[in-house]
Structure 1
């Protein structure tokens, strides 16, 4: 209904006050939990380009295929040759493919958070019944889940192949479970590091370069120092040097507690005591990553 101004309009004055039909919302209010789940689902789908353009799907799907194809080839070889063991242990596979994993987290961590920073949509999230902790948890859980899918899928291919090759069921199941524990820890660690770095800049390209630099330079530096220590006869220092790279950190944890063979010089992993330090450092980095994200987004949301 239109309500005219009570004062008579002057000639040529077309002033009107119109009712444009706004009504209050009477439907169900789903609250923070629903908003958090929706953000998690949307972020997880986005990590593989689902619901986005074809161009956005190319890299994550390609990296997923690159992760799984070698496992399928190993399975084919094991079945054809009637091998008694898989060519690569479950706990070793992610270490071998760490370059692919690093490239994936480097490409998807900025995609998850840098766009929100660049287009200044973070305050819009917080204008709804969602808080800083909800946003951080949803984004962290989504990228960690995407990483777990990436790293656990080839292990599932290896396990299925082992069953087809009629390898010992109990032994394969135990090693498969150990591999899943390893990649779950790896997923949490890499996702946290990637998101912290990506949340610093709204420029996706800078975020990608920074994540790749941190992961590759730290791994290269640590392995080089370990090799130097081995040549100089300082083998006792090798396990402690491994604490300073995410890849060698995971390698040390699984060598100490998950029955894996270390990829370090000599193939000797840390002792049980040093392995406990590895676990504490890994959990500390994960916790610190979450804390830094919380601190970052409390400022961004203002």
Structure 2
């Protein structure tokens, strides 16, 4: 009995001293591993959502990741800005009175670069989380499914807005350096920002949906490229055929079936931009309402599909 009493006394003393203690005989052990309660601030869902947004936005440009991850997004960003820099240099050197490329036409002209960027970064944003099963780690924190989807959606939209908005800033600053009309350039710059904002929200949602449908990044890249290029190619061919057949009204209806032509139609109808539709006849303001409704439906639909995707994944 004395030995047992001494063992218990030693155990209690060890725990009181905060050091590992052993009690009992055989393999039975009691260890003080030093658990302590957390008395710091509880930052909650809003902080977790902001952190996920910031991390996703930084990741879209390779920040905080390996040097190899920074190469492609930074190259595409540079290629996106290069034409604007060249236009500015020519405008300043030759004293041009207007820019040779409009603010609203810049993103449509460089749509291939935007498509490549989206195809590369949308899978990086969501496919890797699914593939490596890191999603449950997010939801072990005070964050819900809607927080995750909103943070990823907002981050991809912001990344695209930076990509498409930076060249417009270069054009605007260059036009002022070339002493072009301030009011005209400011108006055009504002219209361009609205146009690329619509493009960023639409493209960001569609890109994330395609990428979230598969945990394989390669499939996500191919899917995003196919969505943008095949739809635009098919719509462009059909519009030319309709124009050749004198079915001018059909040209506008066909334009509803491609993300690129949707943005073209919206900015033509509401921002006074020149259209790239065959014949140079874009949708009127009344018909543009249909284009705008389709854009809104696609954005909301993208959010709903993403929510369903993560619900189906058991999150």
- Please indicate, yes or no, whether the TM-score normalized by the shorter chain is above 0.5: yes
Question: Deviation at 1:233?
Answer: 1.0
1:235 aligns with 2:253: no
Question: Deviation at 1:17?
Answer: 1.5
Question: Deviation at 1:128?
Answer: 1.1
1:43 aligns with 2:56: yes
Match of 1:33 in 2: 46
Question: Deviation at 1:236?
Answer: 1.3
Give the TM-score of the pair, scaled to structure 1: 0.96
Aligned mate of 2:132, from 119, 132, 144: 119
Question: Deviation at 1:5?
Answer: 3.3
Match of 2:31 in 1: 18
- Superposition RMSD in Å: 1.0
Q: Is the 8 Å Cα contact of residues 197 and 207 (structure 1) preserved in structure 2?
A: yes
Q: Is the 8 Å Cα contact of residues 242 and 249 (structure 1) preserved in structure 2?
A: yes
Larger radius of gyration: 2
Aligned mate of 1:263, from 264, 268, 276: 276
Match of 1:193 in 2: 206
Aligned mate of 1:109, from 100, 122, 126: 122
Tell me the secondary structure at the aligned position of residue 304 of structure 2: helix
| Aligned-partner Cα distance in 1 for 2:218–2:128 | 11
Question: Deviation at 1:274?
Answer: 1.0
Give the TM-score of the pair, scaled to structure 2: 0.92
| Aligned-partner Cα distance in 1 for 2:22–2:155 | 54
Number of residues of Structure 1 aligned to a counterpart in Structure 2: 297
Which blocks of at least 5 consecutive residues in structure 1 are unaligned? Answer: none
Question: Deviation at 1:3?
Answer: 4.4
1:31-50, Cα deviation, whole Å (9 max, x unpaired): 00000000000000000000
1:9-66, Cα deviation, whole Å (9 max, x unpaired): 2xxx354211111212111110000000000000000000000001000000000001
**What pairs with 1:90-239 in structure 2 (closer than 5 Å)?**
90-239=103-252
Q: Is the 8 Å Cα contact of residues 132 and 301 (structure 1) preserved in structure 2?
A: no
Aligned mate of 2:78, from 40, 65, 83: 65
